[in-house]
Amino acid sequence: MDRVVFLLLIAATLLIAITGEVVDLSFDNPIRQVVPEESDEQLLTAEHHFALFKSKYEKTYATQEEHDHRFRVFKANLRRAKRHQALDPTAVHGVTQFSDLTPKEFRRKYLGLKRRFRLPTDTQQAPILPTSDLPTDFDWREQGAVTPVKNQGMCGSCWSFSATGALEGAHFLATKELVSLSEQQLIDCDHECDPEQANSCDSGCSGGLMNNAFEYTLKAGGLMKEADYPYTGRDHSTCKFDNSMIAAKVSNFSVVSADEDQIAANLVQHGPLAIAINALWMQTYIGGVSCPYVCSKSQDHGVLLVGFGSSGYSPIRLKEKPYWIIKNSWGSMWGEHGYYKICRGSHNICGMDTMVSTVAAVQTSTQ
């Protein structure tokens, strides 16, 4: 029976790739994952799903024309979530706060990682670490090194949240103090560029790179607390950095080898890591361990790697498999309370292994 189901999944995947249509193999309706139980009749109506979506996420539209357009987009995203569920069966896909956005709108408003096709020649490489004694499970949240999930809003500032998250963890390791650092300082003040690549400057809500942010922080002297330089989610504002109010300083930063054991070892030894990932599957993600059959390695989103687990999901005919734990910056209502799990051991899935950075903090105290 397992063999039959496995072959059916492969056949469905091939059919989707060829025709763009999904064969229903009796996956759960994704709507059931995110709304209270309703009658089957109600669950069959897109209007009902849309009404629940608007209520849950407090969505309003200025005109009837806009409302009708968003309803059409919503219906398209229901079909898209079903396709994602078929191609990523170990995760749960369905309605999210982004279900009234086209993929293009989603990328423009909520991603923002600058594309990088090669690392600069002067990039400092992290030293190779021993991997023989790696734990099977590890989570920096349990050690107190991770601040609560933040929300970037409709601003392509993911790169700044990835960078501050890594420095928050490094500062905790150096001082045992967990301090929430200012993303808005990076948005307003950081215009650092990769000298070897055109159009690679950090540009607020229009995107940036985590290593550029670390370079800026090193040159500026450090980052202020979020409380002293609060987030607005808007760019083109005057830089308000006050070097007398620095809360955390960068000592150095380096790029980690694209090897999953090295990534795990650096995570355990040096704290949460700034990474880049392709976010295609994240627009419809609700929970579980994402391990899509196909995922582009072209990164478009900056996130924070905070841990890993040993047994998060069970693909057909295989025993439970390990996964990575990723902190996102879309608020706690998204995903698993703001977190994303993606399978570990599938080399460079969604490009997550090839832009990984570790940062060290100067041992200073904010008290």
Q: Looking up tokens 């990723």, which residue turns up?
A: 326
List beta partners, residue 327. 304, 339
328 assigned to active site:
yes
291 assigned to active site:
no
CA distance 96 to 335: 8
Q: Write the DSSP assignment of 295-348 as a string of letters.
A: ------EEEEEEEEEEEEE--TTS--EEEEEEE-SB-TTSTBTTEEEEESSSTT
Contacts of 294 (CB under 8 A, 6+ apart): 13, 17, 87
CA distance 346 to 326: 16
CA distance 163 to 303: 8
Choosing from 77, 295, 328, 350, the catalytic residue is 328
Choosing from 77, 84, 155, 158, the catalytic residue is 158
DSSP β-ladder status, 250-255 and 356-361: antiparallel
CA distance 301 to 87: 21
* Residue type for position 46: A
CA dihedral 193, 198, 200, 203 (to 10 degrees): 90
* Residue type for position 242: D
CA distances from 245 to 234, 241, 365 (A): 22, 8, 11
171 assigned to active site:
no
Q: Which residues are catalytic?
A: 158, 301, 328
